[in-house]
Amino acid sequence: MKNKSAKARMKELRHFATAMTFLAPSMAGVLLFSLIPLIISLYVSMTDWNYTAGLFNWEFIGMENFKNLVTDTWFLSSLKNTFIFTIVTVPIGIFLAAVLAVLIDRFCNAKVASVVRVSMYMPHICNIVATSAVWMALYSSYGPFTNMVRNLGWKTPPKWLSDYTWALPALMLVVVWAGLGYRIFLYSASIVGLPKDIYESASLDGANGRQTFWYITLPLLKPTTFFLTITGIIGSFKVFGYTNVMTKGGPGSSTYTLVYYIYKSAFEYKKMGYASAIAVVMFLFLLVITIIQWVHNSKDEK
């Protein structure tokens, strides 16, 4: 019995060592590229560091950067724009993707559906600069988008990306369009795995397409919706490329976002400590939102 017990323990140790060998590269990556930079960023956020003066030329100032954020109008505008961006683009993008995924699954045969999904996925993998250049042309004074709006009855359309009121909505439209194909792909994959007997029972009970979508499909897609909500919120907080290429944060502060202000503070104003403080605030917002979503989703599953 003792020999068997010793052999069993050795077998368990070998399995544990094998598992740790496979996990070690990922754990090392998380440690080197996530955890350690996070700790360094937390410390840098409490310093006044101009990185051009040297790597360790850090002057510790405590919570001064965080106190300055409260009265910084550019930071407050960036925070407001980021929240507006998230509140608008995430729900609209998820709802449109769910509707389109259901329509593609229901009304397209397998081959056509695959072509449609791949076509809609292309903007997600296209270069952001190229996509931005195309949309800047569409938004120009005599571009197709502006002409379409003009033909619909709007005699003097705004200069979309140069208008303080319309610049942010114009960017939102681009981001929703670019991310639609990715969400459709995930929803389509989930729809394929849904149980067909539930739909057959609903059809026998006289449920129409709208009722089936609202009361069967959407509830069954809740895990996918939860994943897309979390990743969508994180992605909307990190939006930078389209802003940097299309508007440079302007006009004024109308399209400033948190990440864009982090970039400006760090690499143009040379305030790396202040930029790190903004990054810490953004991290805390995302952490709180993710925890709330996670708790809410766990309660629904129970």
For the chain, the domains span 2-35, 72-301
Q: What is the pLDDT of residues 286-300, one digit of tens each?
A: 889 888 888 877 766
Task: Enter the DSSP assignment of 60.
Answer: E
Res. 131 pLDDT band, cuts 50 70 90: very high
Q: CA 81 from chain center: how many Å?
A: 15
SS3 of residue 264 by DSSP: helix
CA angle, residues 183, 301, 284, in degrees to nearest 5: 65
Q: What is the pLDDT of residues 205-236, one digit of tens each?
A: 788 888 888 888 888 999 899 899 999 999 99
pLDDT at 2 over 60: no
Q: Is 0.85 surpassed by the pTM of this model?
A: yes
| CATH class of the domain at 72-301 | mainly alpha
Taking only Cα atoms into account, the Rg of the chain, rounded to an integer number of angstroms, comes to 25
For the chain, the average pLDDT equals 89
Res. 15 pLDDT band, cuts 50 70 90: confident
SS3 of residue 206 by DSSP: coil
Q: How far apart, in Å, are the Cα atoms of 74 and each of 26, 46, 63, 226, 268?
A: 38, 20, 19, 32, 14
Residues 74, 71: Cα–Cα separation, whole Å: 9
Res. 81 pLDDT band, cuts 50 70 90: very high
Q: CA 66 from chain center: how many Å?
A: 25
Res. 302 pLDDT band, cuts 50 70 90: low
Residues 154, 179: Cα–Cα separation, whole Å: 28
pLDDT at 54 over 80: no
Establish how many alpha carbons lie within 13 A of residue 135's alpha carbon, considering only the half-sphere containing its beta carbon. 25
**Choice between 238 and 4, residue whose per-residue pLDDT is larger:** 238
pLDDT at 3 over 60: no
- b or e along 198-215 (b: 16 or more beta carbons within 10 Å of the residue's beta carbon)? eeeebeeeebeeeebbee
Read out DSSP for 132-176?
A: HHHHHHHHSTTSHHHHHHHHTT-SS---GGG-TTTHHHHHHHHHH
| Torsion sign (Cα): 102, 107, 111, 115 | negative
